[in-house]
Amino acid sequence: MAGIGQGPGPDAVFAAKLAEGVFEIQKCGGCGTHVFHPRVICPACGSADLGWIAPTGRGTVYARTVVRRKPERGGDYNVVLVDLEEGVRMMSRIDGIAHDQIVAGLKVTASIGEGAEGDPAVVFRPEGEAN
């Protein structure tokens, strides 16, 4: 791992990995804590020994909301908080399901999709659905 202040920051590394079709989160080599959002220091123990690992991609919806927009402005979209099996919480969206079917406790699987600005982003689908 590059030392603090050397090379691209962790947000840039995360974005570059997504652009290559790879979803990874950090894991602390000091205490084993999984970390998301990308950071330079482990929030649990303060170690700078953060490496990148591929999570299972499986998670559970913690909470959701639906942002209402007129159809000519792109229509409604959902925003969810998902707890990954590794113990981190991510904000994202769920594709492939009606907004009113998204409930807390829904099992989901991560994939790489398109974000609001057209850039790669982690999105979720109900568990068992093809990506």
pLDDT in tens, the chain (131 residues): 444 557 789 999 999 999 999 999 999 999 999 999 999 999 999 999 999 999 999 999 999 999 999 999 989 999 999 999 999 999 999 999 999 999 999 999 999 999 888 899 999 999 987 55
Assess if residue 92 is contained within a domain: yes
Would you say residue 40 lies in a domain?
yes
Q: How many domains does the chain have?
A: 2
Is position 112 within any domain? yes
1 located within any domain: no
Report yes or no: 49 and 27 within 8 Å, Cβ to Cβ. Answer: no
Last residue of a domain, one of 38, 53, 68: 53
* pLDDT at 131 (0 to 100): 54
Residue identified by tokens 């974005």 is 15
Tokens of 98: 């009606």
* CATH assignment at residue 114: 2.40.50
Q: How far is CA 88 from the centre of its chain?
A: 9
* Beta bridge partners of residue 113, listed in sequence order: 121
Identify whether residues 84 and 33 lie together within a single domain. Answer: no
Where in the sequence is the domain holding 79, given as residue range(s)?
58-126
Closest CA relative to residue 31, chosen from 43, 16, 14: 43
DSSP-derived secondary structure letter, 94: B
